[in-house]
Chains A and B, each alone.
Chain A
Amino acid sequence: MSGALEPERPHTELSHEPPVLAGSRLTKFYGGVAALERVSLEIPPGEVIGVVGANGAGKSTLLNLLTGAIRPDDGEVYVGGRPMNGQSPAAFAHAGVARTFQKLRLFPSLTILENVCVAMPSTERWSLRSALLRGRSEVGREEDERARGLALLRLVGLEDRAKHLIGNLTYGQRRLVELARALAREASVVLLDEPAAGMNANEERQLCDVLIRINQARHLALLIVEHRWALLRRMAHRALWLSDGRVVQEGAPESVFAAILDSAGVITR
Chain B
Amino acid sequence: MTSVLDLQEVTTRYGELAGIDRITLTVPEAACFPILGDNGAGKSTLLETIAGLSRPASGRILFNGRDITRLGAEDRGRLGIGIALEGRRLFSDLTVIENLRAAVLLLPRADRPSAIESAYEIFPQLRARSRQTAGTLSGGEQQMLALVRVLIRQPRLLLLDEPSLGLAPWLAKAILQRVWELTARRVTVIVAEPNTSVLPQTELTGCLLYRGKVVDVAPVPYLLSLDSAAIQTKLQLRPIDE
| Contact flag (A, B; Cβ within 8 A) | yes
Q: Which A residues contact B (CB, under 8 angstroms)?
A: 1-2, 31-35, 54-57, 102-104, 167, 170-171, 194, 196-202, 204, 227-228, 230, 243-244, 264-269
B139 is contacted by which of A32, A104, A243, A268 (Cβ under 8 Å)? A32
> Do residues B228 and A269 form an inter-chain contact, with CB atoms below 8 A?
no
- Does chain A have a CB within 8 A of B82? no
A269 is contacted by which of B36, B138, B142 (Cβ under 8 Å)? B36
> Do residues A1 and B227 form an inter-chain contact, with CB atoms below 8 A?
yes
Q: Which B residues contact A (CB, under 8 angstroms)?
A: 16-18, 36-41, 92, 135-139, 141-142, 162, 164-169, 171, 194-197, 208, 210-211, 223-224, 227-229, 231-232, 242
Can you report 23 residue pairs joining A to B where beta carbons are below 8 Å apart?
A31-B92, A31-B135, A32-B135, A32-B141, A33-B138, A33-B139, A33-B142, A34-B139, A55-B39, A55-B165, A56-B164, A57-B166, A196-B228, A197-B38, A200-B232, A201-B228, A201-B232, A204-B228, A243-B169, A265-B195, A266-B197, A269-B194, A269-B223
Q: In the complex, what residues of A have CB within 8 A of residue B242's CB?
A: 170, 200
Interface majority SS on A: helix, strand, loop or mixed? loop
B194 is contacted by which of A2, A55, A102 (Cβ under 8 Å)? A55
Q: A32-B135, A103-B40, A266-B196 are in contact. Are A55 and B228 (CB under 8 A)?
A: no
Distance in angstroms from A69 CB to nearest chain B CB is 18
Q: Which residue of B lies closest to A202 (CB)?
A: B232
Given contacts A54-B194, A171-B211, 16 further A-B contacts (CB under 8 A): A32-B135, A32-B142, A35-B166, A55-B166, A56-B166, A102-B40, A103-B40, A194-B38, A197-B38, A198-B38, A200-B232, A202-B232, A227-B39, A228-B227, A244-B169, A266-B195
> Do residues B229 and A201 form an inter-chain contact, with CB atoms below 8 A?
yes
> Do residues B136 and A31 form an inter-chain contact, with CB atoms below 8 A?
yes
> Do residues B167 and A269 form an inter-chain contact, with CB atoms below 8 A?
no
B38 is contacted by which of A56, A57, A104, A269 (Cβ under 8 Å)? A269
B168 is contacted by which of A202, A243, A268 (Cβ under 8 Å)? A243
Q: Which residue of B lies closest to A108 (CB)?
A: B16
A-B contact count (CB 8 A): 103
> Do residues A32 and B136 form an inter-chain contact, with CB atoms below 8 A?
yes
> Do residues B38 and A227 form an inter-chain contact, with CB atoms below 8 A?
yes
B195 is contacted by which of A167, A201, A267 (Cβ under 8 Å)? A267
* Alpha-carbon separation in the docked complex, A103 to B40 (Å): 8
> Do residues B137 and A268 form an inter-chain contact, with CB atoms below 8 A?
no
> Do residues A197 and B228 form an inter-chain contact, with CB atoms below 8 A?
no
With a 10 A CB-CB cut-off, give which of B164, B166, B211, B227 has the most chain A CB atoms: B166
Q: In the complex, what residues of A have CB within 8 A of residue B141's CB?
A: 32
> Do residues B136 and A56 form an inter-chain contact, with CB atoms below 8 A?
no
Q: In the complex, what residues of B have CB within 8 A of residue A35's CB?
A: 166
Q: A32-B138, A54-B194 are in contact. Are A198 and B41 (CB under 8 A)?
A: yes
> Do residues B38 and A54 form an inter-chain contact, with CB atoms below 8 A?
no
